[in-house]
Amino acid sequence: MKPIVTLTLNPTVDKSTTADHIIPDQKLRCAAPKFEPGGGGINVSRALKRLGAESVAVFPVGGPSGVLLRELLEQEHIQQKPVETVSRTRENFIVVDASNGQQYRFGMPGTPLSQEEQQQVLATLKSLPEVPEFLVISGSLPPGVEPEFLVRIVRAAKGMGIKVVIDTSGPALHQVLEEGVFMAKPNVGELSKMAGVDELDNEAVAQAAHKLVQDGKCEIVVTSLGPQGACVVTKDTADHIPAPAVKKRSTVGAGDSMVAGLVYGLSTGLSVAEVGRLGVACGTAATMNPGTELFRKDDVEKLYNWLLQQTLPTAA
């Protein structure tokens, strides 16, 4: 099987903890912090590892927090191709109020990525020892990076015969789709913006996604519907997949886990219907664990088997 490569332009070290109560203007006693590697593509690589697939994570990294990020990935046995930067890697903070289970997520701004460092990222991707089957581009853009840089990466990857999977938002998503990718995973809000409406119901989601496929912007559109599951659309099918009912503890990494399930399914030859259900199973399983733990494989298998019993897709 050809390798899978993930690209994270705005990686992070996620620090998570819990407090008995979150009360303003008081010193809060917190549990010992837990440090985990984070950022869209990095989480996809971590999730792929849990499914039994190898990937290569490409990401910019710098400073003491960057050293920690690399160490954390080594602990999880993730293959990595870091690009050294002048700026230090950002850190995010997640705290859970133990009294009510509410989660507070503090996302810090990314650190700048210079033009020279961007070129180093592109050169790293082009110099991989083996051309991958999939390139997963996931996460936000750091300061100094314009959407056009993603377009250049996508264009280069397609020229090498690589299938590009995109999971980002805003202008970056819109411009990359103009270039065309293999699969896109917008949420329903992003799909609504592209359709030029305030909101979409289930039928309208399928129609808007199908238009993206018809216009040649991607071959598969997986629209995340949050607690309602996902809608998977190709030129021939529209598949609404419900999310199994589970006790949710955290939504951190759920979207990245879904992407990992989708890509793993595609790389192992599953049908599109099976791929969509595996993606939903992975995303749902990730919400069952606290903090940034992602999912447990046995939870994924149970949810996936349950979803396989659901209605199969209908013609679009």
HSE of 302, CA atoms in CB hemisphere, 13 A = 12
Positive or negative: CA dihedral 264, 267, 268, 269 = positive
Say whether pLDDT at 28 is over 60. Answer: yes
pLDDT average, residue stretch 76-85: 96
Reported as a single tens digit per residue, the pLDDT across 158-204 is 999 999 999 999 999 999 999 999 999 999 989 998 888 877 887 88
The C-alpha atoms of residue 292 and residue 42 are separated, in whole angstroms, by: 12
Say whether pLDDT at 313 is over 70. Answer: no
- Cite the active site residues: 256
Query: Largest alpha-carbon pair distance within the chain?
Result: 57
Report pLDDT for 235.
94
Say whether pLDDT at 94 is over 70. Answer: yes
Would you tell me the crossing angle of helices 202-214 and 188-195 to the nearest 10 degrees? 60
Report pLDDT for 315.
53
Report pLDDT for 311.
59
Reported as a single tens digit per residue, the pLDDT across 99-156 is 988 889 898 888 899 999 999 999 999 999 899 999 999 999 998 899 999 999 999 9
CB-based burial, 235-249: b 16+ in 10 Å, e otherwise: eebbbbbbbbeeebb
- Ordered structural domains, the chain, with CATH: 4-20+33-315 (3.40.1190.20)
Residue 38 contacts by C-beta under 8 Å, 6 or more apart in sequence? 11, 12, 13, 14, 92, 253, 292
